[in-house]
Amino acid sequence: MKALKILTAVMGVMIVIGFAVIVVELIHRIQDSGQDPGQDPGRERDRAVVRGAEPYAVSIDVPADSRLAGIQAADDHLALTFRMPDGTTLITLVDPLTGEELGTISVPVDYSQPAGGTEPLWER
């Protein structure tokens, strides 16, 4: 019976200490960040750039007779997918904050065709 009383007292102390740690950590995070809890502090720089940024116009060099097949937004860039006249797929990565072209990926004809057909999936 004595062991049960000691165990109960120890568990009670652990609950109080755990609750205190949680409260102190929440207060610490709110005061240090200067922003709402749950907001990503790593994105604050990006938001500041967007708020202070001026509109821009960017031209991307794409071969003649190509057509835009799709646009996909990722974490920190846009992927523009172009279909070339020869069947090659060209993927251009662009930084949406600056308009800078980050790179280009070229997918040969035999890889841009679905297995068992000559028509790309986006044209079906």
Tokens linked to 37: 């809890």
Is 120's pLDDT higher than 60? no
The domain limits of the chain are 2-39, 60-123
Kindly report the pTM of this predicted structure. Answer: 0.47
The pLDDT of residue 32: 78
Q: What is the pLDDT of residues 9-68, one digit of tens each?
A: 999 999 999 999 999 999 988 887 765 545 555 555 555 455 556 667 777 777 778 888
Q: CA of 45: how far to CAs of 52, 53, 76, 120, in Å?
A: 11, 12, 13, 40
Tokens linked to 42: 């790593």
Alpha-carbon torsion, ordered 113, 119, 120, 124, to 10 deg:
-150
CA 43 to chain centre: 10
The pLDDT of residue 49: 52
Is 115's pLDDT higher than 80? no
Q: Phi/psi at 66 (nearest 5 deg)? A: -85, 160
